[in-house]
Amino acid sequence: MKLFIFFLFFLILNSLKAKDALQSHGKILNALEVFLEKPVHDTRDPYLEDVVKNQEKVIPVFLSLLSQEDTRIKIKAWIAFFPTLLSQKAAEKFFPYLILALKEQNWQIKINAANTLGFFKVENAVVPLLELLQDKDELIKNVAEDALRKILNSSHIALVKQEFNKWDIDTQTRIVSLLGEIAGFDSRDFLIEVTKSKILQMQKSAIYYLGQNAKTASLLIPFLQDNNPEIRRISCLLLGRRKVESSLLSILQCLDDSDVSVRKAAIWAVVQLSGLRSIPTLQNFIKKQISQNDLSSMEIPEDLVTALMILGLQGDGQIFEYCKKILERNDVGEQSKGRILYGLSGIKNREAFFYIFQISTKVTPFLKKICAISLWKMSPELKSSDSSQRKTPFDVKLSKMPSIDTGRYVIYSDVGEDFLHDGAILMEYLHGYYHHFFSPIAKGSASFNPGESVSLELENRDNASSLSKNSKKPANVYIFHERQEFQEYAKEKDKQWPFLLDSRAYYVPARSEMLTYNREDENSVNRTLFHETLHQIFLHYVPDPPIWINEGLAEYFCNFEYKDGIYKTGRLSQKHLALLKKMLIEGCYTPVDHLIELNHHSFHNDNFGPKEMGNYAQSWSLVYFFMNADNGKYRNLTNDYLTNLFDGKKPKDAFEKVLAKHQLSMSILSQKWQAYFMTLPETHMSEYVLDDYGY
């Protein structure tokens, strides 16, 4: 009898628990539906705060939703629930499902699963993610690669080597880059084997990462004799940057290479290996180049420009007359002239100073800026401090990083001396380029104050005084040698934003700092600087801009072509276009009227997931549409919108006002925007190029 009563009590208790569980389940589902009905999903929403507080009750509900066969239900569950908000222990319940989800057909589910597995560094996901690198979709491959970058370490080398040959060439190339970046010295044996590959990109990747480490860089010396000039070039650069003294004799031979890019790399390598002892070598190189040619008419190759710039920086006054002849020519590119003017800053005598001062009144805006840097560097009384003594905001290690102070920027980088000087010139280029874009628009706004404009500060004859010690504190630009240094800095200085550890770059307005790290793709750092500098300059005009236009402009300008010393920005982003077409076809895009109202939290709501990726793609696409659609018909719409923002109008009001002015409604704009991109060929070339600024 007692046993029967106990059993009955047990059934009643379980029944009550089941009833409570069902009621709880229903409440969660109702809250989920309410959340999904909101046009904008913000990570600060009370619903998500409740999810975090009541993880034990919520997790079973979402696991059941994510296990449904209906793809639409799964996608809705992902939108309404971010596992990255959970603790590591709570999230572990999702890991088996997430690994299985990598095999789903839907791209959004795959991306969410890969991102979450990478976020929590799930070791069991390594093999499935490696397999995902062979997906047909380039977008999926990139997300899988990013996830692996967070998980892989030296312990995975044996596994990767064992499975390596079964993957296709693209996957193998990605794996070489991943292991080289993450495992470093521990991956040397694997990388040495890969240098024997007949696949150029794979071989380049292996050489690049061997050259990143001082312990293995000497292994690149034999590659200075390689048949491929690109292999010789990258080997020269890396041997110089790592200061491998045993390579000097071989590099000297490269000064006579048949390829100009190899000779240019060899010049930098010799300088980084020999310092001032390289002056006679470079002098002989220049004499050999011009001995049988007329400097006033001969073609001016990049290696000659580089040698002249470096000798100038080293204070060699003998090259002054050569430089003057080149600067007086009209057929020499602005980038070449800029480098020569920049080099003259090392010749600290009256003749050079007054020559630069005089020429600064006759040149383009970009060259005016380079003249200003040179004059500032030649005038100690104008310098706020010696860049080598400048206090850095981090620690002793950072304070010892090589740096260049242009007056407007202090560039810190341990990548290499060539990298520093190129970075200094590029940052001044970008400063002028973006002010040249925004300043005419700002002048048309009611709030424009000529006294506050910085865009014309170098148009004045008194170039040097504009960079006096009373100027605004320069911005710091950190370009770290490797990702680990970048992460250490982010962890130390910006630990309140842990997601920055997984980014490749960021800008901190409060400290006026840009941070990134060097990568195998040499253009990637330049694209990053184009992007982050846009934020810096745009914030000067609009302190709190709508995030869609801030990121849209940055993405628009960082897609560029560089050829013959000229940057052509606003090129079509294949990555954004492919994603945008997916979203438009599936109807999973953010409506334009909602996109323009997103704030920082709702824009980045799923932490590098499909929603955030989509917001970047859509923001870029709106800017691209306004600049190019209907033969530039809506180009002035962008200017009018920015003018309204400069005047301090509310973003939504500003947008609706300019739509009305251009006889558009939100619905008509949305239709035209969708139709434009659904029919846009992947070979489309942007028709809008910024007015000539002498670049």
Is 461 or 337 the better-scoring residue by pLDDT?
337
Closest CA to 81 of 611, 497, 596: 611
Mean pLDDT of all residues belonging to the chain: 84
Q: Is the pLDDT of residue 452 over 60?
A: no
**Structure confidence at residue 44 as a pLDDT band (50, 70, 90):** low
CB atoms within 10 A of CB 245: 10
pLDDT of residue 88: 85
**Structure confidence at residue 207 as a pLDDT band (50, 70, 90):** very high
pLDDT of residue 447: 44
Mean pLDDT, range 268-272, rounded to an integer: 96
- In this structure, what token pair is assigned to residue 364? 């383009």
Mean pLDDT, range 143-151, rounded to an integer: 94
Mean pLDDT, range 257-270, rounded to an integer: 97
pLDDT of residue 387: 44
In 138-277, which ranges are continuous DSSP H helix? 138-151, 157-163, 169-183, 188-194, 200-211, 229-241, 248-253, 260-274
Instruction: Give me the residue spans of the domains in the chain.
Output: 200-381, 387-541, 543-695
Q: How does pLDDT run across 148-191, given as a tens digit for each residue?
A: 999 999 999 999 888 899 999 999 999 999 999 998 889 999 99
Beta bridge partners of 563: 566
How far apart are the C-alpha atoms of 200 and 694, rounded to whole Å? 36
Mean pLDDT, range 542-565, rounded to an integer: 90
CATH 1.10.390, applies to 543-695: yes
Tell me if residue 468 falls in helix, strand or coil: coil
- In this structure, what token pair is assigned to residue 72? 């639409």
DSSP string, 403-444: EEE-SSEEEEESS-HHHHHHHHHHHHHHHHHHHHHHHHHHHT
pLDDT of residue 35: 65
Least-confidence region, from 82-91, 120-129, 382-391, 608-617: 382-391
- In this structure, what token pair is assigned to residue 391? 């206090």
**Structure confidence at residue 439 as a pLDDT band (50, 70, 90):** confident
pLDDT of residue 427: 93
The full length of the chain comes to 695
Mean pLDDT, range 295-300, rounded to an integer: 88
How far apart are the C-alpha atoms of 582 and 300, rounded to whole Å? 47
Q: Which helix (H) or strand (E) holds 276?
A: none
Q: Is the pLDDT of residue 24 over 80?
A: no
Is 534 or 472 the better-scoring residue by pLDDT?
534
Closest CA to 457 of 407, 497, 527, 411: 407
pLDDT of residue 64: 80
Strands 505-508 and 513-517: antiparallel
Q: Is the pLDDT of residue 22 over 70?
A: no
- In this structure, what token pair is assigned to residue 358? 């005089």
**Structure confidence at residue 27 as a pLDDT band (50, 70, 90):** low
Half-sphere exposure of 523 (CA within 13 A, CB side): 7
DSSP string, 336-381: HHHHHHHHGGG--SHHHHHHHHHHTTTS-HHHHHHHHHHHHHH-GG
pLDDT of residue 48: 66
**Structure confidence at residue 16 as a pLDDT band (50, 70, 90):** very low
pLDDT of residue 517: 94
Q: Which helix (H) or strand (E) holds 480?
A: strand 475-480
Q: Is the pLDDT of residue 687 over 80?
A: no
Per the CB < 8 A criterion, the answer to whether 651 and 597 are in contact is: yes
pLDDT of residue 33: 64
Q: How does pLDDT run across 367-417, given as a tens digit for each residue?
A: 988 998 899 888 764 444 444 444 545 556 677 789 998 888 999 999 999
pLDDT of residue 291: 82
pLDDT of residue 579: 92
**Structure confidence at residue 25 as a pLDDT band (50, 70, 90):** low
Q: What class has domain 387-541?
A: alpha beta
Task: Please give the share of the chain, as a percent, with pLDDT higher than 70.
Answer: 83
Q: Is the pLDDT of residue 468 over 60?
A: no
| Backbone torsion region of residue 564, taken as left when φ is above 0, otherwise alpha when ψ lies between -120 and 50, otherwise beta | left
Least-confidence region, from 2-11, 345-354, 522-531, 557-566: 2-11
Per the CB < 8 A criterion, the answer to whether 476 and 514 are in contact is: yes
pLDDT of residue 238: 96
Q: What is the CATH number of domain 200-381?
A: 1.25.10.10
**Structure confidence at residue 475 as a pLDDT band (50, 70, 90):** very high
Q: Is the pLDDT of residue 303 over 50?
A: yes
In 255-364, which ranges are continuous DSSP H helix? 260-274, 279-290, 302-313, 320-327, 334-343, 350-359
Least-confidence region, from 55-69, 332-346, 572-586, 619-633: 55-69
